Each structure stands twice: as structure tokens, then as C-alpha cells.
């Protein structure tokens, strides 16, 4: 029985090229990619698809697009390798699955879903996660599949100059592509009132091999609970881990009576900055409200309600807010 107006929200990373630096063709490419994925998800939700399936498919599409730092087009570690993380969570049951530090699974989000479906564990890493993916029949690739020449040049530019570089951040000046917070994610409410979240990332350029992001950690970068909200974060992962950001958002709604937007903005604007947390998040609550705050120059983002025109955006509103 359909009781809710379904909605999907997605992000492709917080922090962007500044308005002054971005080329019209680049901006158009991001809008087109986001709009295409939203339209597909919107149709699936209209057809009655489950939120968990829809967020997984949306993130899979983002992983396959080299514009974003997840899957194909992921950044390099300081050892010139790739290590990818992903997680999914079902708000109806609190079941969750995640993989971390994988290098041969074409779509890490599908492996995260496989962990959830198996049900024995929540988080699997490295070779163990890849063995599981093979057993489940997921598509495996050689690590070079994730490489692009752009990302290799990015690594060469930053080696010897910094410890690790995130994949999207403006900071008020023309941004070079080496400083962006690169994560992708999706949150959704389906027609039956169920929430779900999914997040995936290629990590940080020049990061130390073995570093795990918040994206794979349930309660940090990814969380969903039908009683409150579904959340996917993007930004400086260590800060999101230290503040348990996505769970904190839901806790503020459950225990303090905060609205979705109040809780989301408290996390992004008040809790994260003191610990160096630059980035943003996308969230949808059990009533279908959407919040997409960020404290960077921008965030590649969009949302679509069934029966309504989809919206995509990159930069903050001219008024200085991050609303559409």
C-alpha cells in the first residue's frame, strides 16, 4: 500500500571548483550526470522499488562515472594503488553492509550490499571482502580499471607537497582539482515509508595505504533508521568519524526533537568545523523532508520527488545558503 511520496537525494562530493574557475562545459557535465541518475531513481521509486535497491543503483551509477572519486576514476594512494570503501544501510531493519580497502571489485557498493544480504557481518575489508565478492559472483577487475590519467597526474602533483589531499574544496579561491572531497552517496524514502542510505569513495589522493574512510563506517559516514532519517556524508572523513556524524544527526532527531534540517545543519555548521571537518551531507527523513547542507564552496547534489521536477545544484545559493 502506497502511503508516502518517494524521494531520492544524491551527492557527488562536497567542495567544488569555484564559480570563477569552473568551465561551463564542466558544470554542464556534472549537472547532466546528476540529472540522469536522479531521473532513473525517480522512475524506479515511482514503480514501487525499495529504497535500499534504489540507493544502491544510484551509487553504482556514480561509481561508473569518472567525474567522481568512486569506482572508475578513483584517486591514487601514495603507493600509486587504489583502495575503495563503500557502505549501505536499510532503515527498516538496521541491517548494514560495508567493504573497505578493496582494489578488485568493480562496484564496491554492490559488495557492501552483498555483505548486508549475507547478514553474518557488517564490515569486511581487503582480501576477505574480495573473496566474498567473488563467491557472490560480483564483477571483478584489475586495479588499472579504476585509473585515469587525470588521477595519475593528480598524484604526481601532490606527492612531496602534502601528506594526503581530499578531492573537493574551494576555500574561497580558485580550486585546483587536487583539493576536492571525493565521495558519492544516495539516500531515499520509498513508497512504503522505508529509508535507506549508500555511500562510496575512492579515498584521498596520496593517502597512506590502509587508511579507511568514514564512508565504510556505519554511524560515521553512512546511517539509516526509519524512525528518523537516512544520511550519507562527504568531506574530511576523520572528522566525520570522530563526531560519529551520521548517527549523531539521527540521535538529535530522536532524543532532542530536532527537525531534519535543524539536526543536519547543527552537524555540518557547528559540530564538524571545530575538529577540522569540511564537507557536507545529504539526508531524508521519514516524512520525506530533504536536507543537503555543506560548509564548503559547494557540493555536487540533487534530489527528486516522484511526480515532481528533479533539482540539481553545485554551488551555494546566492543568498549564502546551501538550499536549492
Q: Residue 155 pLDDT more than 60?
A: yes
Looking at residues 130-138, what average pLDDT do you find? 97
Tell me the whole-structure pTM to 2 decimals.
0.91
C-alpha of 240 from chain center: 13
In 3D space, the residue among 124, 79, 85 whose CA is nearest the CA of residue 108 turns out to be 85
Of 106, 108, 70, give the one whose Cα is nearest residue 87. Answer: 108
What pLDDT, on the 0 to 100 scale, is given for residue 170?
35
pLDDT higher than threshold 50 for residue 66? yes
Task: Please state, in angstroms and rounded to a whole number, the distance separating the CA atoms of residues 41 and 197.
Answer: 13
Q: Checking phi first, is residue 288 left (phi over 0); if not, alpha (psi -120 to 50) or beta?
A: left
Distances (CA, A) of 187 to 29, 41, 102, 211, 294: 22, 11, 23, 25, 16
Protein fold of 7-94+147-315: 3.60.20
State percent of the chain over pLDDT 70: 86
Q: Which residue pairs from 246-251 have beta carbons closer than 8 angstroms and sit at least 24 positions apart in sequence?
A: 246/197, 246/219, 246/220, 246/221, 246/222, 246/281, 247/218, 247/219, 247/220, 247/223, 249/223, 249/281, 249/283, 250/223, 250/225
Domain boundaries, the chain: 7-94+147-315
What per-residue confidence (pLDDT) applies to 190? 98
Binding residues: 211-214, 234-237
Whether the per-residue pLDDT at 63 is higher than 50: the answer is yes
Helical residues (DSSP H) of the chain, grouped into ranges? 24-46, 51-63, 108-118, 126-135, 149-158, 237-243, 245-256, 260-265
At which residue does the C-alpha cell 550526470 appear? Answer: 33
Nine cell digits for residue 310: 528533479
Q: Crossing angle of helices 51-63/24-46, nearest 10°?
A: 150
Kindly name the residue from 16, 183, 201, 222 that is annotated as catalytic.
183
Q: What is the mean pLDDT of residues 4-13?
A: 95
Higher pLDDT, 27 or 284: 284
Residue 75 has pLDDT above 60, yes or no: yes
pLDDT > 70? residue 180: no
Query: At a CB cut-off of 8 Å and minimum separation 6, what does 40 contact?
Result: 57, 58, 61
Binding residues for substrate, by number, are 211-214, 234-237
Q: Is 243 a catalytic residue?
A: no
Strand segments (E) across the chain: 7-14, 84-90, 96-102, 123-125, 184-189, 195-201, 222-224, 229-235, 279-285, 290-291, 298-305, 311-315
Q: Could you report the per-residue pLDDT of 10-39, keeping only the tens digit for each?
A: 999 986 556 666 788 889 999 999 999 999
Cell of 99: 567493504
Distance between CA atoms of 104 and 97, rounded to whole angstroms? Answer: 18
User: Angle at the Cα of 39 (from 38 to 44), degrees rounded to 5?
Assistant: 95
pLDDT band at 179 (very low <50, low <70, confident <90, very high): very low
pLDDT of 181-197, one tens digit each? 579 999 999 999 999 99
Amino acid at each position: 500500500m502506497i502511503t508516502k511520496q518517494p524521494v531520492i537525494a544524491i551527492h557527488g562530493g562536497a567542495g567544488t571548483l569555484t564559480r570563477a574557475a569552473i568551465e561551463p562545459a564542466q558544470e554542464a557535465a556534472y549537472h547532466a550526470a546528476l540529472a540522469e541518475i536522479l531521473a532513473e531513481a525517480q522512475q524506479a521509486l515511482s514503480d514501487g522499488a525499495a529504497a535500499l535497491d534504489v540507493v544502491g543503483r544510484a551509487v553504482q551509477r556514480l561509481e561508473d562515472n569518472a567525474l567522481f572519486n568512486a569506482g572508475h576514476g578513483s584517486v591514487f594512494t601514495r603507493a600509486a594503488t587504489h583502495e575503495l570503501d563503500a557502505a549501505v544501510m536499510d532503515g527498516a531493519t538496521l541491517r548494514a553492509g560495508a567493504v573497505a580497502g578493496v582494489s578488485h571489485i568493480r562496484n564496491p557498493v554492490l559488495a557492501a550490499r552483498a555483505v548486508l544480504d549475507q547478514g553474518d557481518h557488517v564490515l569486511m575489508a581487503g582480501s576477505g571482502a574480495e573473496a566474498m565478492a567473488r563467491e557472490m559472483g560480483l564483477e571483478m577487475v584489475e586495479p588499472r580499471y579504476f585509473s585515469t590519467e587525470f588521477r595519475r597526474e593528480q598524484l604526481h602533483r601532490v606527492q612531496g607537497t602534502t601528506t594526503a589531499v581530499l578531492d573537493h574544496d574551494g576555500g574561497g579561491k580558485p580550486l585546483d582539482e587536487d583539493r576536492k572531497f571525493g565521495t558519492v552517496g544516495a539516500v531515499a524514502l520509498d513508497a512504503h515509508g522505508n529509508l535507506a542510505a549508500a555511500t562510496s569513495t575512492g579515498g584521498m589522493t596520496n593517502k597512506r595505504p590502509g587508511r579507511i574512510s568514514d564512508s565504510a563506517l556505519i554511524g560515521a559516514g553512512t546511517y539509516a533508521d526509519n524512525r528518523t532519517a537516512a544520511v550519507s556524508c562527504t568531506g574530511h572523513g576523520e572528522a566525520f568519524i570522530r563526531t560519529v556524524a551520521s548517527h549523531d544527526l539521527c540521535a538529535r532527531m530522536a532524543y532532542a526533537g530536532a527537525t531534519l534540517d535543524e539536526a543536519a545543519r547543527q552537524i555540518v555548521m557547528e559540530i564538524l568545523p571545530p575538529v577540522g571537518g569540511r564537507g557536507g551531507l545529504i539526508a531524508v527523513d521519514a516524512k520525506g523532508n530533504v536536507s543537503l547542507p555543506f560548509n564548503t564552496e559547494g557540493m555536487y547534489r540533487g534530489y527528486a520527488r516522484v511526480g515532481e521536477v528533479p533539482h540539481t545544484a553545485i554551488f551555494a545559493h546566492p543568498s549564502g545558503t546551501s538550499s536549492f
